[in-house]
Amino acid sequence: LVGGTVRDCLLQLPQYDLDIATPLIPNEVQQKLDSAGIRTVDIGIKHGTVLAVVDGLHVEITSFRHPADRSQHRAANTIEEDLAGRDFTINAIAFSIGSGELIDPFNGIEDLFAECLRAVGSVHTRFLEDPLRILRMVRFGPAAGRDIESTTIEAARELSTKIASVSPE
């Protein structure tokens, strides 16, 4: 389990969908789901994501993505590599169902309970990869009652004009 799913579980919030990261490629995921009789929806196979619908619950299953090339879905080898390309530390936490281990290489759990929003790695890189993350900063920061770490907010101010490149929907 990864991202918002883990974040919300740690906060004991209800789950409306699940996010799973896997080393499998999308075609393998789809084949396994099909053979198990689980309905899938093609929402972004070219981006590495398969949506499974299980008893009305949406489960997004995404192949590990390399931080430097998330838009073209260059595969990553490990969950840690995948987490390195996520937007904020509170969304860069994983839970291994197999081992029961929390994987938190960027101290997202600490930031979560300190109510601090901080970008993963280079904030300029994260915002330039996807300017929508500047808007997500507001959603996961002040709109959720969290403070934004100073270098994260400074970079957002610097790069705010990049929001114009985000599709309106």
pLDDT of residue 42: 77
> What pTM value is reported for the model?
0.89
The residues facing 148 across adjacent strands are 117
Distance CA 133, CA 86 (A): 10
Residue type, 134: I
Answer yes or no: are the C-beta atoms of 85 and 125 closer than 8 Å.
no
Mean pLDDT, the chain, integer: 91
Over residues 106-126, the pLDDT tens digits come to 999 999 999 999 999 999 999
Over residues 56-72, the pLDDT tens digits come to 889 999 999 877 654 55
Report which of 115, 116, 111, 121 is spatially closest to residue 87, judged by C-alpha positions. 121
Distance CA 42, CA 100 (A): 30
Over residues 3-46, the pLDDT tens digits come to 999 999 999 998 888 999 999 988 899 999 999 999 998 777 77
pLDDT of residue 146: 97
Q: Which residue has the higher pLDDT, 140 or 47?
A: 140
pLDDT of residue 116: 98
